[in-house]
């Protein structure tokens, strides 16, 4: 099963943060900050959203920074995803 986002929405999945601090200590789960970088899983079609034309600038597999606390968390087949509006994507991480 997969999620097809509507309008200007984007499905993203948080990338696992490194569970090791700079000093080399392995952190238990609860001490890890939620990772700030996510990977784009699916991109809505854009078009007219709230009366304004939105062109989608993202594609699947983009690594992105997203606005904290934005979007809705959903679970599908035991996996957690975030569904956010494209406007909640701050920027794309490039190599």
Residues that bind a copy of itself in the complex, under the rule CB under 8 A: 1-7, 9, 11, 36, 42, 44, 47-53, 55, 57-58, 65, 67-68, 72, 74-76, 83, 86-87, 89-95
Kindly tell me which of 26 and 55 has the beta carbon lying closer to a copy of itself. Answer: 55
Kindly tell me which of 28 and 91 has the beta carbon lying closer to a copy of itself. Answer: 91
Structure tokens at 26: 């392995």
- Nearest distance from C-beta of residue 92 to a copy of itself, angstroms: 5
- Nearest distance from C-beta of residue 11 to a copy of itself, angstroms: 7
Choose among 50, 89, 45: nearest CA to 71.
89
51 — phi, psi (to 5°)? 80, 5
Give the dihedral sign, CA 63/64/68/72.
Answer: negative
Structure tokens at 95: 């190599």
């Amino acid at each position: 099963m997969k999620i097809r986002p509507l309008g200007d929405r984007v499905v993203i999945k948080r990338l696992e943060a490194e569970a090791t601090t700079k000093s080399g200590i392995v952190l238990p789960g609860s001490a890890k900050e939620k990772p700030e970088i996510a990977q784009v899983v699916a991109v809505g079609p854009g078009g007219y959203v709230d009366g304004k034309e939105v062109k989608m600038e993202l594609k699947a597999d983009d690594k992105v920074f997203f606005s904290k606390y934005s979007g809705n968390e959903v679970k599908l087949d035991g996996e957690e995803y975030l569904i956010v509006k494209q406007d909640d994507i701050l920027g794309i991480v490039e190599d």
